[in-house]
Amino acid sequence: MPESRTYGRRRSLPARPAEESGSKQGRGDAAPARRDAAEREPISGRVVATGAGQTAMAGWDDVDKIASAASGDFYLKVTENRTVIKILSDGPFDVYASHWIDEIEDGSKSVRCWANSECPLCGIGDKAKRFSACFDVVSMEDPDAPAIKVWEAGIKIARQLKDIATDSKRGPLDRADLYFTIRKETKKKSVEYTLERVKERDLEEEYNVPPLTHEELVEFLSQRHEYGAVVKEPLDQEAMDEVVHLLMEDA
C-alpha cells in the first residue's frame, strides 16, 4: 500500500508559464513509469536494487551534478562521539537530492527529486534542498559487534571523500588498511561533521578498536550494494501530481 500522508494548508509557489506547463505534460517518457495506486510500493528506508552496477567512480559524477542542483538501524547514526567506520567501496552507490514538503503532516516529508527537467516539484519552483551520497560502511561503534550500515553523507563530507578517493596517495576509500572516524558537533543552529582518516595499525592504540579480520571483511563486502541501488524510491507521476496539487494555490 502507498504511504499515507495527511496534508496541511497550501503555500504559494512561482507559477510556470502556460506554454511551459503544457509542454512538460506532454513529455512523460522521461519520468518514472506510472503505476496504479494499488501497485505503488511505500517509501521506506530499504535499499532497492535497480540494475547491474557500473564502476564505483561513476557515482562521483552524480555528486557534483546533483549537488549543484540542490542547494532505523539501517542507517549510520553520526553522533557527538567519534565512530570508527570502514567504507566498503570507492564511491557512493546512490546519490540524490530531495525536496522537503513541510505541508505533509503524516508520513515522510522528504521526496526524492527526479533530477531532470521533468521533475514536477522543480517545475513549480520548489527547489530540492537536501543532498545525499550513500555509502555502505561497517560501523564499529561497538567493537565487539561491527555492523554494516548505509551512510548518507552530505555534500561537504562527500566532497572530502571524493578528494581522498581520487588521490593516489590517500585513496582509494576501500583500501584494505584504511579506516575513518566521523563525528558531529552542534554549534548554535548549525551542525558540523568531522571526518578523519585512520590507518589500520593505529586503530587499537588510538581508539581501542581491533581491525576487521579478513573473514569479517570478506563477509561485509559480499553484502554491499552495487552502484545503481536506490535508498529512497522516487514517487511516480500520479503521486508527484498529488504533492504538486497540494502546493499550488487555487486558481
Q: Is the omega angle on the peptide bond into residue 172 within 30 degrees of 0, that is, cis?
A: yes
DSSP string covering 88-139: -SSS-SEEEEEEE-TTEEES--EEE---STT-HHHHTT----EEEEEEEEEE
Could you tell me which of 149, 203, 141, 207 has the C-alpha nearest to residue 176? 203
Using one digit for the tens of pLDDT, what is the confidence trace for 82-125?
A: 999 999 999 999 999 999 998 877 778 899 999 998 999 999 99
Using one digit for the tens of pLDDT, what is the confidence trace for 40-67?
A: 333 333 444 333 344 455 565 555 545 4
Could you tell me which of 44, 27, 11, 52 has the C-alpha nearest to residue 150? 44
SS (H, E, C) 174-204: CCCCEEEEEEEEEECCEEEEEEEEEEHHHHH
Question: What is the pTM for the complete model shown?
Answer: 0.69
* Rounded-to-integer distance, Cα 38 and Cα 181, Å: 44
Residues 137 and 86 sit within 8 Å (Cβ to Cβ):
yes
* Rounded-to-integer distance, Cα 190 and Cα 203, Å: 30
Mean pLDDT of 135-147: 94
Could you tell me which of 160, 17, 22 has the C-alpha nearest to residue 87? 160
Q: How confident is the model at residue 249 (pLDDT cuts 50, 70, 90)?
A: low
Top pLDDT among 116 and 9 is at 116
* Number of Cβ atoms within 10 Å of the Cβ of 70: 19
pLDDT at 72: 52
* Rounded-to-integer distance, Cα 225 and Cα 208, Å: 29
* Number of Cβ atoms within 10 Å of the Cβ of 5: 18
Top pLDDT among 124 and 26 is at 124
Ranges of each domain in the chain: 6-247
- Going by C-beta distance under 8 Å and a sequence separation of 6 or more, which residues neighbour residue 173? 87, 89, 90, 91, 135, 161, 164, 165
* Rounded-to-integer distance, Cα 54 and Cα 51, Å: 9
pLDDT at 217: 95
Using one digit for the tens of pLDDT, what is the confidence trace for 188-241?
A: 778 889 999 999 999 999 999 999 999 999 999 999 998 989 888 899 999 899
Residues 161 and 170 sit within 8 Å (Cβ to Cβ):
no
Residues 136 and 93 sit within 8 Å (Cβ to Cβ):
yes
